[in-house]
Amino acid sequence: NGEGSVTVEVKKTGKDSFLSGVIKLVQEAQESKSRTQNLANRAAFWLTIIGISAGIITLVVWLVVLDREFVFSLERSVTVMVITCPHALGLAIPLVVAVSTAISARNGLLIRNRAAFERARNIDAIIFDKTGTLTKGEFGVTNILSLSKEINESELLK
C-alpha cells in the first residue's frame, strides 16, 4: 500500500504444486480400471456380439424362413437387439466407481488406484509411518530421542 518494490521468489509453478499433484493423481485414478470393471467390459463385449448375432439371426429367420415382410422382420430384429443389449452393465460399474470416488474425496480419502482400493477390503492391519510422510507429503525426521545416555543424537544419525 505504499511505494517501493517487492521481490518475490517463485519456488514452484502451478504444474509443480501439491494441488496439481493431487489433481493428477485423481485423474490417474479415474483412468485406472478395477478388476470388476475389466470383467464387466469383457462381458459387455461378448454380450454385444451375442445380441447383434441374435438380431441378425432373427431378421433372417423372419424374412427368409417365415417369409414375412422386411419391415416386420426388421422390427423383430431390432427388438431382440435392444433386449439383449448389455449397455446397462457397461454403464453401471463406471457410474458406481465415479460416485464412490466422489464420496470418498468429499470425506478426505484420495483413491489413487481402483484395483488396489478394491483389494483393500482384505486388509487385516495398517501400519503408519509417523515421520510426516503422510501429513506433510515430505520425508524427514522431526525428533530424535536416545534411550541411552551414552549415545547422543549425532551418534544415532550415523
C-alpha cell at 157: 544419525
C-alpha cell at 106: 468429499
Torsion of CA 86, 87, 88, 90, to 10 degrees: 100
CA triple 8-9-13, angle to 5 deg = 115
State the CB neighbour count (10 A cutoff) for residue 54.
15
Annotated catalytic residue 129:
yes
Say which amino acid occupies 48.
T
From 108, 64, 61, select the one nearest 80 (Cα to Cα). 61
**Which member of 16, 67, 124, 129 is catalytic?**
129
For the annotated catalytic residues, the residue numbers are 129
